[in-house]
Amino acid sequence: MISRKLLDARWALKARSLARSKRPILAGPWRSEVGFELLYWIPFLAHFANTYGIDKNRLIAIGRGGSAAWYEAAGHADLFEFLPPEVVRSLSIQAAQQTGSVKQFDPEGWERHVCALAAKSLGIASYDVLSPTWMYRLLAPFWDGHESLNWTDRYLLHRQRFPQPKLPIDLEKKLPESYIAMRWYSRPTWPMSESNTLWTRKLVEAISQHTPVILINSGFQADDHGDINLGSIPNTIRLSELHPMQPIDNLTIQSGVIARAQGYVGTYGGMAQGAMRWGVPTLALYQEFGQTSPMHLHLTQSLSLKSGVPFVATYPQAIERLLPLLQSRTVSNAV
């Protein structure tokens, strides 16, 4: 493993080389988690462009599932244009088996292949590449708990809020005037279990009695997160029933609907963090806070404080204990 000084020196050389070049910069391709893309990769590109005076007209973001719409870039391409979701999933599984992580810590041959195909589709003959590998390697000390939140400022530049992703006009007309967006899926912090599913259904039923709920789903599985099936609930509708989605645009559609919601409630993870970045008050639930770094939550809560957008991450038992306090006569009189 190379030293921090050597890694920083190599990054400075790479960044200065990209700054001197006048060629388009393909940023990506990105195949990893939504949370890392929103919290780190997009702010990493913003810091790079700001620090080295990169004209944003040179940046071409290669996201996946329509996530490139979240970037401040002149051009966009999508991983799913060139590799089917099943192949991308298998690449992530293979990486996890070989390295213990789905993160892009090392350059892989398929990345060069996708960049070449993206450049050809955009009519670009000569280009530079900025791989997510740089971001993953540079920020590793923070995720490992060896560096502070302030330390990340040397690599990340966070916008106050992300702009609302565009939606098809026909879908926008179908949305209720006011609604709560929810996404419930299984992951290590919210494992699939009968008790979790029953508790989640009761929460959705309680909220939907007062305001419409849109359950954010795609109708297919594009990654390792499986949607939790809650069955039919009055005053709720699945997003996939409002608008058909394809692998290439599902994240654009989901994020656009979330960004227009009165609030967001769901599994702690990437879309919950995204909701807060789109200016939506967020309640993120976890059952077991494991297999994830607490530094992600630390950063999210810091961004919430700075932006003034509420972000609360908690667990079912805490809600059950706190609700009686909020409903008590003493608290009601005080408020």
Q: Write down the residue that tokens 């994240």 correspond to.
A: 251
- pLDDT higher than threshold 60 for residue 67: yes
Per residue in 249-278, pLDDT tens?
Answer: 999 999 999 999 999 999 999 999 999 999
- pLDDT higher than threshold 70 for residue 225: no
- Averaged pLDDT for residues 69-89: 92
If phi over 0 gives left and psi between -120 and 50 gives alpha, with beta otherwise, what is residue 279? left
Token digits for 124? 């670009």
Given strand 25-27, what is the order of strands in its sheet? 75-78, 59-63, 25-27, 128-130
Under the banding of pLDDT at 50, 70 and 90, the label for residue 40 is very high
- pLDDT higher than threshold 60 for residue 148: yes
- pLDDT higher than threshold 90 for residue 327: no
Locate the domains of the chain by residue range.
Answer: 4-154, 169-330
pLDDT score, position 105: 79
Under the banding of pLDDT at 50, 70 and 90, the label for residue 183 is very high
What does pLDDT average to over the chain? 91
pTM, two decimal places: 0.93
- pLDDT higher than threshold 90 for residue 93: no
Report the half-sphere exposure of 200 (CA within 13 A, side-chain side): 29
Q: What is the dihedral of CA 296, 299, 305, 310, to 10 degrees?
A: -20
Q: Say how far apart CA 289 and CA 43 lie, in whole Å.
A: 25
Q: Say how far apart CA 116 and CA 204 lie, in whole Å.
A: 45
* Domain range 169-330, CATH architecture: 3-Layer(aba) Sandwich (3.40)
Per residue in 110-119, pLDDT tens?
Answer: 999 999 999 9
pLDDT score, position 120: 96
Q: Are 289 and 319 in contact (CB under 8 A)?
A: no
Paired residues of 76 in beta bridges = 61
- pLDDT higher than threshold 90 for residue 65: yes
pLDDT score, position 328: 60
Paired residues of 263 in beta bridges = 180
- Find the helix packing angle between 270-277 and 294-307, rounded to 10°: 20
Q: Say how far apart CA 327 and CA 335 lie, in whole Å.
A: 11
Q: Are 56 and 159 in contact (CB under 8 A)?
A: no
- pLDDT higher than threshold 70 for residue 296: yes
pLDDT score, position 331: 44
| DSSP secondary structure letters along 150-209 | GGGGGT----SSPPPPP--HHHHHHS-SS-EEEE-B-BTTB---HHHHHHHHHHHHHHHT
Under the banding of pLDDT at 50, 70 and 90, the label for residue 289 is confident
Q: Say how far apart CA 237 and CA 67 lie, in whole Å.
A: 23
Q: Are 63 and 78 in contact (CB under 8 A)?
A: yes
Q: Are 189 and 292 in contact (CB under 8 A)?
A: yes
Radius of gyration of the chain (CA): 21
Q: Say how far apart CA 312 and CA 291 lie, in whole Å.
A: 19
- Averaged pLDDT for residues 147-152: 96
